[in-house]
Amino acid sequence: MSVPILCAHNLFYDFEESGNSVPVLRDLSLDVKPGQVTSVVGPSGCGKSTLLYLLGLLDKPESGEILLENNSMTQASEQKRTEIRNEKIGFVFQFHFLIKELTVLENVRLPILKSGKSLQSANAQSEEILEKLGLIDKLNRPAFKLSGGEQQRVAIARALSNSPRILLADEPTGNLDSSNSDAVFEILNEFAHEGGITVVMVTHNMDLAQRSDEIIRMMDGRIVT
């Protein structure tokens, strides 16, 4: 058994709605194994996205603990969490979140440049990943001129460009047709199995979930087995 790279212990998360505190996650714990694709499934509103934001250090739980490579994130400063997001975590969402003023290459190299690497190595690293995703000929195109499937692949390239340990994907195929969905899933699968990247993917696509290494089912803010 491999050691989990990402653990959640007893997470509670509420949100305030017109003065009332509504529970979203209730005592949720889970371990994510490295180098695998883990799918998170469950009905709408059960807290999947919330869980992903907490795992990705974009948000903080009311209580409970996140452990990343065995380090507790509870005490980490905002600065530290921001650095960890840059170095170790990549995000892909249903919406691509590409910056339309930038070209494909410029979008993809943002996290690398942010980590302080030189422009040359950022370009080299970005081109390598775009090559793998079959986007090398779109390098200098404005991001907004691509098709939906291409944009999502650029978003994946951006999430992977700074060589993160973990990729968190929230319904990455939600806006794509089935052939584009398949392609995206295959990419994630490949990066997990050959690149050693840990992928956690929220999805409604049961077919894709079945093809992943592990499935986590959620209901009403809890994990069900």
Partner 1 sequence: MLSLELALRYVISRKRPMAMSLLGIVFGICFFVLTQAQTAGFEAFFIRTILGTNSALLISDRFQNSDGVVHEIDENGRTRFLFNSREGSRYRDGIDHPEMVHSALSDYPGITGVSEVLRGHGVMHSISNKSSVELHGIHLHDHQKVSDIGKYVSQGSTNRFATDPMGVLIGSRIFLKLGIQIGDRVSLSGGNENIQLRVSGVFESGVNEIDKNRIYLHLKTARSFLNRPFGGAVFQVSLEDPGNAPAIADQMQSFLNHRVVSWQEREQVWLDVFKALRLSSAITVSTILLLSGLGIFNVFAIMVIEKKRDIAILRSMGFTQSDVSSIFLWQGVIVLILGIILGSLLGILSTYGVSQLPLRIRGIFSTDSFVVHWDPWHYIWAALISTIFVTVATWIPARRASKIEPAKIIRETN
Q: Is residue 224 classed exposed, middle or buried when 0-12, 13-18 and 19+ CB atoms within 10 A define those classes? A: exposed
Min. distance of Cβ 87 from partner 1 in angstroms?
7
Complex with partner 1: residue 79 or 225, whichever CB lies closer: 79
Contact range with ligand ADP by CB under 6 A, out of 40-48, 75-83, 86-94, 140-148:
40-48
**Contacted entry of partner 1, Mg ion, ligand ADP, none for residue 44, CB cut-off 5 to 8 Å set by kind:** ligand ADP
Min. distance of Cβ 172 from ligand ADP in angstroms?
13
Site string for Mg ion, 35-64 (x = CB under 5 A): --------------x---------------
Read off the tokens for 151. 């944009």
How many Å apart are CA 107 and CA 127, to the nearest integer? Answer: 12
Q: Which residue from 7, 32, 46, 223 is in contact with ligand ADP, where contact means CB under 6 A?
A: 46
Which residues contact residue 181 at a Cβ distance below 8 angstroms, ignoring those fewer than 6 apart?
Answer: 173, 205, 208
The structure tokens 């003023």 sit at 101
Site string for ligand ADP, 168-197 (x = CB under 6 A): ------------------------------
Min. distance of Cβ 18 from ligand ADP in angstroms?
11
Min. distance of Cβ 90 from partner 1 in angstroms?
8
**Contacted entry of partner 1, Mg ion, ligand ADP, none for residue 45, CB cut-off 5 to 8 Å set by kind:** ligand ADP
Positions touching ligand ADP (CB under 6 A) are: 15, 24, 42, 44-50
Positions touching Mg ion (CB under 5 A) are: 49
